[in-house]
Amino acid sequence: MFAVRRAYPLKSGWPLLRVVPTSTLKLSRPLGCFLRSQNLSRLVINTNTTPTSARAHTATETQNTQRKREKMKYVLVTGGVVSGLGKGVTASSIGVVLKACGLRVTSIKIVCRYGLITFLFINMLTETKIYPYLNTDAGTMSPFEHGEVDLDLGNYERFLDVTLTRDNNITTGKIYQSVLEKERRGDYLGKTVQVVPHITDAIKNWIEAVAVIPVDGKEGPADVCVIELGGTVGDIESMPFIEALRQLSFSVGQDNFCLVHVSLIPVLGVVGEQKTKPTQHSVRELRALGLTPHLLACRSAQPLLETTKEKLSQFCHVPVGNILNIHDVPNIWHVPLLLRSQNAHHSILKQLNLLAPATPPALQDWTRMAETFDNLTDSVRIALVGKYVGLSDSYLSVVKALLHACIACSLKPSIDWIAASDLEDDSAKLTPEAHAAAWETLRNAACVLVPGGFGDRGVRGMLLAAKYARENNVPYLGICLGMQISVIEFARSVLGLESANSTEIDAQTPNPVVIFMPEGSRTHMGSTMRLGSRRTLFQMPDCITSKLYQNSEYVDERHRHRYEVNPEVIGVLEEAGLKFVGKDESGKRMEILELPSHPFYIGVQFHPEFKSRPGRPSALFLGLILAATGQLKAYLDRHQNGN
């Protein structure tokens, strides 16, 4: 290895080139990793600059990079024995406690099968979700298989009160797609592309890049990133992620990495003894893959016995003080309190060398919220008419938004799940009992909510529910598809257009009141929806929706749809009494509809449930509950556009 300097004279301004061994250069970590992956031992550099200033700049940049890396902390949450133990809630609760200690938190989620992976970067908490599915994103996944799209990201947002990005959701498909795109571009210079190091490096780079994205509205990167690894230890889908995380833990150092392993402590009915063997095997498998847990979060029906903790400590190589018990609680808001009572924050902060900057966890508001819910006695009946009611997790954000709104009204939500297809006339012939029960439930509800969905199944039942609510002055809220349903029903029942429909349901309908968006793709379903937060401008400052939002001008909400109300029928619909009180910034896309002659009949193209938070419920969900309990008018009189 040597340096060669050009010996012949150069004209002024020409670059002075040197061939320099890379081992003598102070390189950023990403550049260094790239050069090593390409087996490049020397670089040709321009030295036609002031050497002192160049070295000073490089030294300062290196110091800043090192200082930045010293501050970044990771908490990885893995799971063992079985999936569905509540790793997402555990990871979110860890984030809540660390945030209560004065740290900023972000999150990343990795989903293997039906589970998650969570990393915590301390001082700002961030969460990212990684999916070992081959799907590029969750947009085309069936709610029947996986529940709501990005279900756990919603948990993180609600618990931590942050706004995550699509990059906080990592899937195997995204990783492989990015690597293959680089290979096609020739970025690997003809080298053999392999799982190790190319896939694992892509995973690490993705995590490190997303971890520094602010998610709490403040400037600067997070202090803690919570990353949840889905599935259970040993799943074949998660192996590249496990290896990438092992490498990450080694590269950042033991003071910047904390691993929390969630496992199950079952009790056999015959014996009645808390069994530790499943957890022992799970930890052994994890250690064989190169990761050793610093804390165990043990799920159980009842609190763990001290003898059980001692046995776990002996065989899993984890101190007794780091064995946490997350037993069954009345509601999930108790989980952060459970962690605090066992000093989980102290163990994590000690592992990450953050005891000095952290403060005692301030969870007074969280405690009050959990206890308030436990003490509620009155309830309100809500008919949720949907397509995927067989799996309640399909509408988890809707359920949580209803919960937040009900608690604000000192009520417990009593959700009556109604399969839309059970309301249809065909059901009266095929399953008369289910048909009768569905209609009885609908008639006994105080309000009706029709959430989003795709496809034609159950649409006729939703139309009947919307018609019932409209004709009987029952408070109604339609979200996304639910808004389109109310337009179709109004066109059929009021305008007399019996064939009115959505082109999603009937592509040949002579009266298309809901159409495919012009900018959408008809050949590809993935990544072709109108997504993200978008502004809706109120057309009528005195409408119910603007009063609920306490803003007479606009509202920003998240969207997820491919179809929209046909702009050509707006005039005739409004002449008949259906008012479109909110439009997008172009004025051509309908966002909010109201029926002024009805106490509360609102449809929105966006998804207000995604921004609902404990203690800060969604305005429209709050309005629905207030209308269902006869409190809406008094509330609006007190809160007219923020006055």
CA dist 135 and 600 (Å) reads 40
Question: Which residues touch 475 (CB under 8 Å, ≥6 apart)?
Answer: 446, 447, 448, 469, 599, 600, 601, 624, 627, 628
Question: Which residues touch 211 (CB under 8 Å, ≥6 apart)?
Answer: 72, 74, 106, 108, 119, 121, 126, 128, 221, 222, 225
Convert 73-114 into a string of H (helix), E (strand) and C (coil). EEEEEEECCCCCCCHHHHHHHHHHHHHHCCCCEEEEEECCCC
Q: Is 447 a catalytic residue?
A: no
Pair type for strands 476-479 and 500-502: unpaired
Contact in structure between 258 and 73 (CB atoms under 8 Å): yes
Cis-peptide, bond into residue 143, ω within 30° of zero: no
Q: Is 480 a catalytic residue?
A: yes
* Pick from 465, 445, 462, 464: nearest CA to 454: 462
Contact in structure between 354 and 73 (CB atoms under 8 Å): yes
Contact in structure between 513 and 491 (CB atoms under 8 Å): yes
Burial group, residue 185, by CB count within 10 angstroms (0-12, 13-18, 19+): exposed
CA dist 74 and 30 (Å) reads 19
The one-letter code for the residue type at 493 is: S
- Range list of β-strands (E), 6-70: 17-21, 42-46
CA dist 471 and 514 (Å) reads 22
Pair type for strands 125-131 and 511-516: unpaired
CA dist 185 and 183 (Å) reads 5
CA dist 274 and 306 (Å) reads 11
Rounded (10°) angle between helices 334-341 and 344-351 = 70
Burial string for 216-254 (b: 16+ CB within 10 Å, else e) reads: beeeebbbbbbbbbbbbbbbebbebbbbbbebbbeebee
The one-letter code for the residue type at 87 is: K
- Marked catalytic residue, from 480, 489, 559, 598: 480
Q: Is 609 a catalytic residue?
A: yes
Q: What is the largest CA-CA distance in the chain?
A: 96
Residues with a known catalytic role = 480, 607, 609
